[in-house]
Structure 1
Amino acid sequence: MFLALGYISLVQWYRRCRRREVLMSAVRHVVRTSSIVVSRIVTVSSKQAHYSEFVKPKSPGVRTQLHDDDTILLSSITPKNTVNLSTWSRFGETSDSQPHELHVLLEGNISTEVPDLGHHWILKYCQPIAWTRGARAGILVGCSVDDFIDMCTILGEESPKEGEGLDLVSMQTVMTENGPGGDSGISLPDPVDIQRSHLKSDQSNPTDSSANVQETSKSELTNEDKSVKALSPKPPNILIYCGKHDSVRQFQSVSEVITDCVNTDSYTVYHLKHDQVTTTPWLDNTVLLVIATERLYDGTNDIFLDYYNNGGQVMSFGSMFETKFLEREEFQPRASLSVFSMSEKWKDVKCIRGRYNYKGYVGVTSGVCVDVLARDYQQGKPVMMGISGQGTAAGKAVLSQLHLEKDPSEAAMDPDTFDQLKYNNSARIEILKYLLTWLGLDCSQQRIPPLTPASLLTNSPKTKELFLSSLENRLKGRCLTSRSVNLEFIATDVQNLTVSSSHLPVLTSGPHKHKYFSEEAYWKNLKTSCLGQTVLYADVIPTTMTLFEGLQFSVSESIGVVAIAGRQTSGKGRGGNAWLSPEGCAMFSLHVRVPTNSQLGQRVTFLQHITALAVVSGITSMAGYENLDLKLKWPNDIYYSNKMKLGGVIVTSTIMGSTIHAIVGCGFNVTNRNPTICINDIVQQYNAVHGTDLPPCSTDQLIARTVTHIERLVTDFQTHGHRQFCERYYKSWLHSRVRVTVESEGGKEVTITGMDDFGYLEVVTDSGRRLSVQPDGNTFDMMRNLISIKPR
């Protein structure tokens, strides 16, 4: 008997040693490049029973399984997960002055407000460093590789004991940020009652398998700001879940429209990847969960329901989450274009809709109020429902078979569908804002960004020297004064610059950091001898047009100045109209000199047509982009086909001696797809239809190409005159032989024949009489085929 017991003990000892060797080998092999995730397979607490569903990976490629037995699962995630400790609380008065081989994130349930590990077995193997609180506590500890292996073994064998204070569920090795010692030295703020950690996905990862769970990025703060930041809650999170596969691409599309709808000063939008649903603490500081996938795996549906039941707000687009509340009936085998109505405000709106209708008003789950928010136009069946729980802490949800989260560029199956979706895109954005407001989010206008200094940019030191020397006699101190704004030319080493709508510092030297502009892309695409060779660039500015009030008569003829803005806060359009100038819109003002006795000087009104054509030519002259459906609408608009406006031109001019000084202002949408349409939408749709792979365009690239074509078209106009220009212009315009009504002629119908000798619209009546319609006194409504007198 004793021999048998001894043999059994020997076998058990050997198995433990062998298991330890296997674990050690697996951990040492990958721990420096990957996170080792250790999960308890059989949980003791019944409240955590659903965790056993997610610890085993259900699809290849998400994780690499290293070790699996009856009690724990050991797997790896690449690249290694990162924890930013800028908002974590320190454990008492301890510090992490001692270097550790590994940093380990422990996750579980704590029984006290502050983790108390005084009696926990984990302290035998590690040193606690910091903690953060949530649905599951996050506790960071330091240890050696040997101690980590012991912790892995005990995690599967030990049961929580009364008084230990932590029901440990999983562990993972991590890297740390915001510590002077990198991965071994950590600096933490003083112990405070903080919000829970924020999660930020690494958008550079091409696939879900490269999950990189990060805390919020470092803020560039002063010491005083840092102390305030540590005591202040961060903006709450909006999390977007896009399923297991291809989620990074889908997230980028959904996050764009959500960001366009909410006040981004109040929220931060993050990607909740599939692995993060169960391995990271995300519940406490999430104000909205957006579910943008149909199928939910590995117990995520139950976890999302728990979030809702604890007061969370959910927006679901056709996901299985809906079945927790409502019965559905299949309406069609696949998603397709549909028409719906929502209240009295939105009638006959076109949108991609899912496969189901909702059956009636009775929820599967009792204790909720169900409201019909939208109905299908054809059948009158509910396609969008509002769910409200009862009680002060109850959650709210929008369940929608209408895929408002899908941009037309992502959802369109054919060109006609794309056109209809884009035409309804403004309504889509308005409805999304309404729904987000119904869920309690702030969709007010975002705070106007602060103005920034401008930078003086040239492609050669000689050009910069010539520009500055030409201003010397006009400067008062360092300022070039004008009616609207004073330009102060200063070196970059000056601190505490004051920027206002009437005072703009211009940095003339040193390295320049720009948020919305690439000098390299601009100079690569600029092929001019004069125009645009000197750039005044500002990330945020009221308007570029006013910068030339003092400049246009000050610089020499050989200098071509262009003012470019990343964003404008007070952009102006034709007739004093406001011009929306968000990020992603190409915005510039260009100084053009025209001799009065030249071909263009005698017909300077053509300059707006030259600029509009230059925008189109700058794009369609690129290899592969020739057939993009870009058109010109008289007198000064750039259009996608004949459907939607992409941009416009405004020209002001002043005669000084024998020279016309024209300031050409131009703006057109390049990457900003909402609320209407942009160049990259058209490129993406063209790729989908023709099987091409044209890369998206950038604002700096297209501004440079536009300026290049303005110079070429001006030169050609001066050489060959307006008739040859018109022949080229007509190839892109929308109006040849179009029948329109002229109100000033008693409502008579006329036919557009072209432009007259001065660039005005020329029409002919049925009796053969020719008329010229001047843009300053008339408006041309192409959609109504109407020319009417403008009110003054």
Structure 2
Amino acid sequence: VLKHGCPVAWKSAEPFVIILQCSFGGLVILTDAFGQGHLSLDEDLQLIRIIGVKTKGTPQKLVPLEDNYPMYKSEEDLPNSCIQDELTPNSNLLQHSSNTGETTLIISNKYSQRNNEHSSDAVQSSSKSSVDQDVNAKEPSATSNNETQPFIKKPTKPPNILVYCGIKDTATIFANIKSSLEMVINTEAYTIYHLTREAMLSTPWTSNAALLIVSSCLEWSTDEEKKIDDYIRRHCGRLLSFNCSIDSKFSNKSVDTDTRKNTLIQFKYGDSVVTTFRGPYYYTADNEYAEVIVPLDQGSRADEKNMNHDQNKKCLVLKTCLNGSGVVVLSQLLLERDPADYATDSESFARLKQANADRLEVFRDLLTSLGIDTSPGNIPALTPCLLLVRRVGLKESFLNSIKHRLRDEVLKSKNISLKFVDNYGQETTPSLLPVITSVHCDIQTQFFRLSEYWQNLKTSTLGQVVFYTDVIPTTMTVFDGLIFSVPENIGVIAIAGRQTKGKGRGGNAWLSPLGCAMFTLPIQLSVGTKLAQRVSFLQHMVSLAVVQSVVTLPGYEELDLRLKWPNDIYYGKEMKLGGVLVTSTIMNTIIYATIGCGFNVSNSNPTVCINDVIRLYNTSHPDLPDLPPLSTGQLIARTVTILEGLIEEFNRSGHLPFCQQYYRCWLHSGAKVTVQLDQPTQGEIIGLDEHGFLSIRTPDQKLLSVQPDGNSFDMMHNLIYVKST
């Protein structure tokens, strides 16, 4: 911190405040480093916030150490001379309010913290000469969309469960529903998103949801109803609705005159009697595609035999399959939220809590009826980290490089602190990761074959110092506290067998089950290098390195692994295998980039993995020797090795040779997209521009460079053109 500013004043209150005078460039460096979680202070101080302030007057002089003033318990005990010396708004940096006793700062909104993700943050316009290249995109193989082939699943909805809660108190309601969902679904198979009203109307969610849940939404706009109808009927979507007015679009719904709004009832479900709240309506199963789940008369759950003889049965929960379209489950039973959300008094709260396990069981069954995986997902215990090297002396060099940052062998950081220890014994928590330094490089681990990693790693620097842990929340934060301390010639990498809270692009969660290759790789780029001047290309390099780690193996060349701009790895055109996240910050003349990467190697769920693709290829080519399956250790090492080579080649030859390699694997040449100018404009994808962004040719032959609109579902939807400055 002191390299980029000079402290001029401080305030010893809660929180402790330091006024730092610095240049604009210094402020940019400090706020960027803070945004990445890389800014730290000595004396075990944790930085909470950076704000810009305007100052008045001059700082009060510090009391000389040799002066010995008496201590006073309260302001009333102070002598008059002390009171007269009190800070005043006109002569000091800090303003003191005589009314509240609070010290305040004059806040300036001129500067703000910026978190720089080099996915597509900066956008440049480009000339025709810089992008009008020979772009030869690889055509999909014949096997990529063959529905009759074994092993590969048909393209399915992405494993997203979306929750729509209307427009009032949506964050609170969503958090409650998400909590219930996480107790009844396989959390390793799905990501739960809050679908806001704005996102419902503006993002391409209809083709990116395995299930939509709507909760107690009594008012719908025409546009919202059209979106829901489009999702169900055109995209064959699945809807679970709890007491929503939109139910009437899919079934006859009538008011139950004997029931008030949100009435506490009991109903029989299997061998249980469940207590819950219900809405004021009931449904009628009036066609052959309707199925009663919970009858209105609160009797036993209807079976298929009863349904054949009673098509007009009244019910509280109804499942209906729309002919040739989607599936809808409508419920007047309010099962999606914790009882505390509905309870009006202590008696009803107690009754609901006692029946909570039964409520969740019914909720689970409704989800199962919609094809959602509700098998129990195990949340494993966190494990310590192993510090592993293969080269003699490298471990000692690394530890010496960070020694000055340790306090009692702990390197503190905002998200997770590292405690370097010799042996097992220190407890692992989400905020403290023990790093065991005395283990052998070929130690046996539960989820990762280190021997395969070392055998396939051919780098001079990258990935030579391994932080390996079987189970960790996320590898993306492991190096937050040491990224500026490790020398450029020591390449560290964090590898996990499993992640419990993996991070994806734009703050999305990233599913990280066993069999997924997951790593975080910090690298340093001198600002004078060609890649540092076009750092957005780094994410493309990592994606290409993943694909090449497979298809450059003898016999694996024809596997249909593709690249989707800006940072996704695909099998064919429809099925995502993995993705890349790159964050960066600049300090002095060095760009510090942190690469996060995850791709499916041997986990067939929730979508598809590389070994599934290999099995399909073996079946489709019986005349050829079977290709053996690949491992995470093998492919992580090969990816890092290839990445190091791509970086070196880019710095020697620039971006054009790299682009030619990239285009052989990508999906987009000649594709039509919509660009948001003054009005939506159709354009044709030409390639990457000189900065690594997507180059589009409009109908009037103008070339634009574009970025995504920030939605969480499809980066190619609603591309935004931003003029260069």
Q: TM-score, normalised by structure 2?
A: 0.49
- Rg larger in 1 or in 2? 1
More strand by share: 1
TM (norm. structure 1) is 0.45
Between 1 and 2, higher relative CO (CA 8 Å, sep ≥ 6) is seen in 2
